[in-house]
Copies of this chain bind each other. A is one copy, B any other.
Amino acid sequence: MNSPVEFRRAAVEPQFLEALRQRFGDRAQTGEAVCRLHGSSESHFAPALPDAVVFATSTQDVVDLVILCAANEVPVVPFGAGTSMEGNALPVCGGVSLDLSRMNAILAVNAEDFDCTVEAGVCREELNQFLRDTGLFFPIDPGANATIGGMASTRASGTNAVRYGTMRDAVLALTVVTAQGEVIRTARRARKSAAGYDLSRLYVGSEGTLGIITEVTLRLHPIPEAISAAVCGFATLQGAVDTVVQSIQLGIPMARVEILDDMQIRAVNRWSKLELPEVTTLFFEFHGSTASVADQAEMVSGVARENGGGNFEWATTAEERSRLWKARHEAYYAAVNLRHGAIGWATDVCVPISALPACITETKADLATASVPATILGHVGDGNFHVIFSIDPTNPKEMEEVEAINARLVARALSMDGTCTGEHGVGLGKQEWLKQELGEPAIEVMRRVKHALDPHTILNPGKIFAL
């Protein structure tokens, strides 16, 4: 139902598992519980259990594992924090789930160059805690406390992308283990380079299908002199979206601008114990000098007023601000938990900003007849928004209904020159849509690259496209 094809499970011999134990000791595990943990996702995909889980602690571990897997034609599927949304890390063909979460060293911070190098298993919140005293921060924020390696693999973005870009922009260089077990460094630390093919960007977003990222060099940004956050409720969804589009078109450099529709606010109020008015609401954050922040806020609140927005409610202290953004970060869980025991399904279209008002209002109208609770939540400054469905996993009719709504939503976005996935990646869920988005000849280019770099298809098989 939720997999595009039936996957063939690789044959994993007892000798292979024995070889894993010999090389990795108790860092190679085959227990039911650990396999189940690495074979489940935070979304609606059926579990797919690995034959073993290996916890790497070094790039050399990854090299040795890849060589062992290659020799035995066993799949190897990188796993970070397990927070991806399209089943990107599910070992659908079995094999080894390569858990990189113990590779969590921060290797270097070059404050004067605004960059740092971390192991792939470092989580973004820990990185920002570590950086606090340097006056710098790492802006990419997909909501979940994902690993940097996972965020690079899925080309993650999130709330700050409207100002600071996505992982595509944040990655300066990568250390990658190839399917041949070679270790490569994709670039040096210079801010720009024209030195051959852009290998960093080739691996960013490749979801572990072309190589395994073990270290990431990231661009950092100075913590702004002033940060201020506000929420603003709107009489209509259209008014909220128009506020965003007009503010973007005025060139106001908002650091964050998030939409939460009335249903999403209701979910957030319940989950995070807030008392926001249950109407479509924009969450803003402004970064800059004190003067510039005041300037931006004044301009945006003027635009909001013209579009039926209420007063800006300011979160002036760091505590209020983090309470607000914590609620925003938990919005996915809040939405899923509108029903007890439900599972989540998040859509992920992104359209040119001028098409956003039509796309989002048509989608809201489509949701009006849905039998499943559904919220709208989005990084609207980028033209990217999610519908989050709260599905009863025991009711297959609900899954069908949601599939149909999602199909209409993606078709709508594609008709507006948008994409089926702004930030979650293709994984298992967007493979059919990717074909419609880019066409078979473009997929064939991707397939050629995949075959060239991973000729025996051991790296995260079954993802992005059928081979």
Interface residue? A31 (CB, 8 A):
no
Interface residue? A465 (CB, 8 A):
yes
Residues from chain B with Cβ under 8 Å of A187 in the complex: 419, 438
* Binding-face segment, A195-203, A368-376, A398-406: A195-203
Interface residue? A228 (CB, 8 A):
no
A445 touches B437 (CB 8 A): no
A193 touches B419 (CB 8 A): yes
* Binding-face segment, A89-97, A264-272, A389-397, A449-457: A449-457
* Binding-face segment, A37-45, A125-133, A301-309, A424-432: A424-432
Return the contact of A198 from the options B204, B211, B222 (Cβ within 8 A). Answer: B204
8 Å CB contacts to B: which residues of A18-56?
none
Minimum C-beta distance from A313 to chain B (A): 26
Residues from chain B with Cβ under 8 Å of A222 in the complex: 251
B194 touches A205 (CB 8 A): yes
- Mask, A440-462, CB within 8 Å of B = 1, is 01111110110111000000000
B419 touches A188 (CB 8 A): yes
Q: How many residues of A contact B (CB 8 A)?
A: 87
Residues from chain B with Cβ under 8 Å of A204 in the complex: 198
Residues from chain B with Cβ under 8 Å of A451 in the complex: 452
The verdict on A192 contacting B442 (CB below 8 Å), with A197-B205, A198-B155, A449-B449 known, is no
Residues from chain B with Cβ under 8 Å of A192 in the complex: 157, 161, 166, 168, 350, 382, 384, 422-423
Residue of B nearest to A209 (CB): B197
A418 touches B189 (CB 8 A): yes
Interface residue? A212 (CB, 8 A):
no
Minimum C-beta distance from A227 to chain B (A): 14
B445 touches A184 (CB 8 A): yes
* Binding-face segment, A9-17, A232-240, A336-344, A351-359: A351-359
12 CB < 8 A contacts A-B? A155-B194, A161-B192, A165-B169, A182-B444, A191-B382, A192-B350, A192-B384, A194-B419, A196-B438, A197-B205, A197-B210, A211-B445
Q: A192-B423, A199-B438, A199-B446 are in contact. List 18 more A-B contacts (CB 8 A).
A: A113-B353, A114-B249, A154-B194, A156-B194, A157-B194, A168-B192, A182-B441, A188-B418, A190-B384, A190-B413, A191-B384, A193-B421, A196-B205, A196-B464, A198-B201, A201-B202, A222-B251, A291-B295
